[in-house]
């Protein structure tokens, strides 16, 4: 698969303009204020996984509209002191799966919360267990187009709210150092992590790889690969709905979230990524923290011959080294 986006020297200076609605901040302030009215935790139940070195709990917390959202919470067995926590967000179409699938952060010595994706989990992996009871607005069957024609109805308004509430939930769990919480995600999860960084001002770190929802308008011009392809397919049938769709998407733009973020940030991107074009990741990184009082620490790692998989395990090793340095500061 050849490179298809901007050349690397241009990506390194890519600072795209984004069309932000005038009520962007008010939209998210009111949405998240409503969700924060209830205590985050619903239940925390220990589960047997067969893993001797890891303890795991089945967690339910309140997300958008107080809806119950499932998650796995794990921490190293035999460790009693409060630990830094990593909140991880899964990719598009995936649910939280089974608790033994994601062990990297626990093995690194951190507490780990893996959030389920509401209304997803049926495309790959081992499933999800969080329904989306608000998915009745006009739009297609895929999450990317559910409620696409109105910002208040859109799937990602609900999913981003869940992601923010997941941080509040992990801070209430036993054995968590509430002052050291990082948001981590790849693809859709990366887009969610950026949104969390915008809305949780005391987040300790954010690690983003191949983020979805960054440079959305440009991505729709560059690729028909899913999930962006779901939007182009929808608009190919619903001719004339472009203005409404673009307005909705402007409230979910990851570059807008990145501009408002304050936490130290670590990015990764494959330069041949046709799922989430690399100009989106670079746009978010280059404009990251520009609306904050002090420029936050940030870095990005590019993998010229890789696609959506990016640096894969090589990049995870870089993430582990970087996050350890952040915790030690």
Which of the following is catalytic: 5, 153, 155, 187? 187
Q: Closest Cα partner for 323 from 259, 257, 258, 265?
A: 265
Which of the following is catalytic: 5, 116, 132, 273? 273
Using pLDDT thresholds of 50, 70 and 90, give the confidence band for residue 177: very high
Predicted pLDDT of residue 226: 94
The first and second tokens of residue 103, run together, are 């062990």
Question: 309: number of CA atoms within 13 Å, CB side?
Answer: 6
58 is known as an active-site residue: no
**pLDDT score of 8 more than 60:** yes
315 is known as an active-site residue: no
Predicted pLDDT of residue 2: 66
Helices of type H across 152-268: 155-170, 188-199, 216-222, 228-237, 242-250, 254-259
Question: 286: number of CA atoms within 13 Å, CB side?
Answer: 18
Which of the following is catalytic: 199, 266, 308, 315? 308
- Are 278 and 11 spatial neighbours (Cβ–Cβ below 8 Å)? yes
**pLDDT score of 46 more than 70:** yes
Per-residue pLDDT tens over the stretch 186-223: 999 999 999 999 999 999 999 999 999 999 999 999 99
Q: How far apart are CA 103 and CA 129, in angstroms?
A: 20
| DSSP letter, residue 146 | B
Mean pLDDT score of the chain: 95
116 is known as an active-site residue: no
Per-residue pLDDT tens over the stretch 125-147: 888 899 999 988 777 778 999 99
Cβ atoms within 10 Å, residue 9: 8
């Amino acid at each position: 698969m050849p490179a298809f986006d901007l050349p690397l020297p241009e990506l390194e200076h890519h600072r795209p303009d984004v069309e932000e609605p005038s009520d962007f901040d008010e939209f998210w302030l009111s949405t998240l204020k409503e969700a924060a009215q209830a205590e985050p935790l619903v239940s925390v139940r220990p589960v047997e996984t067969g893993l001797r070195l890891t303890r795991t709990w089945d967690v339910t917390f309140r997300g958008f509209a107080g809806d119950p959202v499932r998650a796995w919470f794990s921490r190293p067995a035999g460790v009693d002191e409060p630990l830094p926590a990593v909140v991880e967000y899964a990719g598009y179409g995936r649910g939280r799966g089974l608790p033994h699938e994601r062990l990297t952060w626990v093995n690194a010595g951190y507490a780990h919360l893996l959030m389920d994706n509401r209304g997803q989990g049926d495309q790959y992996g081992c499933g999800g267990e969080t329904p989306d009871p608000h998915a009745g607005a006009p739009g297609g069957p895929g999450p990317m187009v559910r409620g696409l024609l109105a910002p208040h109805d859109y799937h990602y308004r609900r999913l981003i709210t869940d992601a923010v509430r997941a941080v509040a939930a992990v801070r209430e769990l036993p054995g968590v150092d509430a002052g050291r919480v990082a948001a981590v995600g790849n693809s859709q999860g990366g887009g969610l992590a950026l949104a969390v960084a915008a809305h949780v001002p005391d987040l300790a770190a954010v690690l983003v790889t191949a983020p979805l929802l960054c440079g959305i308008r440009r991505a729709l011009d560059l690729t028909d690969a899913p999930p962006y392809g779901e939007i182009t397919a929808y608009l190919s049938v619903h001719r004339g709905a472009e203005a409404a769709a673009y307005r909705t998407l402007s409230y979910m733009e990851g570059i807008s979230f990145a501009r408002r973020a304050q936490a130290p940030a670590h990015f990764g991107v494959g330069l041949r990524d046709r799922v989430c074009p690399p100009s989106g990741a670079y746009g978010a990184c280059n404009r990251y923290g520009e609306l904050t009082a002090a420029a936050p620490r940030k870095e990005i790692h590019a993998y010229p011959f890789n696609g959506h998989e990016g640096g894969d395990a090589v990049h995870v090793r870089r993430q582990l080294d970087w996050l350890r340095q952040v915790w030690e500061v």
